[in-house]
Amino acid sequence: MKLRVAVLYGGRSGEHEISLRSAESIIAAMDPQRFEVERIFITKEGRWEPRAISPEPGGNPGIDVVFPVLHGTFGEDGTVQGLLELADLPYVGAGVLGSAVAMDKEVTKRLLHERGLPVAEFIVLTRGAYNIDDICSRLPFPMFVKPANLGSSVGISKVKTCEELAPALKFAEEFDRKILVERGITGREFECAVLGNREPVAAIPCEILPSREFYDYEDKYILGTSKTVLPADLTAEQTREVQRLAVACYQAVHCEGMARVDFLFETATGKFYINEPNTIPGFTSISMYPKMWEAAGVPYAELIGRLIDLALERHAERKATRFHR
């Protein structure tokens, strides 16, 4: 009997369009002999179509597992994961805690720092409550200004002077009330895919070669002029270090199922810094998460199957937990 998979996509975040593209790629790759797909689209206004998931009498919604493909706010931040937990439905990817932690750049960095993992120096600000001169005196230029709870490089600016800081902060404030300002790392950008629950493993890392100042939204999804190097041009020792840090980051923020961990390599010091984990990485035709696993010997369709199996495995383990006396 086929597994009925609900693909949940769209959503209210600024990454709505990316979600649509990722979902189409995932659906096209699903084995029709094993899976029956039900599309559940969420509009930009938050309306669910064709129907929301709600348990029927007897607790069976007619869905075996949910594949959330909701990048960013209201999808990757633990909100939808909490709804699926309440509905007692297996779902792909990190749980409520891991999703919420990984979505918040400040909390992520604090947890990584507590584990002794390398992160760039940063300052956390609240919308409208900051002093430009104070920020300029606390970190060296260049700086990166980011919304604390968004992905796909939405709302991010690279700032080279104090005069550029105010407009960059205003731009980030459009997307979040909490803003992260961090020291810019001059060097190279890498990504590493991680897969698993209790015993996660890392794939072969890749290098991103931006066509602009940094790997921003336009470079990722619109211009198509950035380049990637897979496998990354790293020594065997450096590759092992990226993989070690990727798994350590994954475990520190309580990820499950999948995540892509992004890195910055500082040329001057030869040191890798963890930039951030992404619990629902892109699955578009140009997305590196599935490409890294393909390079590691796991084809796209097999990867989708493994992710669904991991979701079912975790749900079965959770069912063994008592929630009442």
Residue 149 Cα distances to 91, 153, 177, 180, 218, angstroms: 22, 11, 9, 9, 19
Long-range contacts of 99-103 (CB under 8 A, 24+ apart): 99/279, 101/253, 101/254, 102/76, 102/253, 102/255, 102/259, 102/276, 102/277, 102/278, 102/279, 103/73, 103/76, 103/77, 103/78, 103/149, 103/151, 103/279
Catalytic residues: 15, 152, 221, 260, 262, 276, 278, 282
Phi-psi region of 10 (alpha: psi -120 to 50; beta: other; left: phi over 0): left
Structure token digits, residue 159: 């700032």
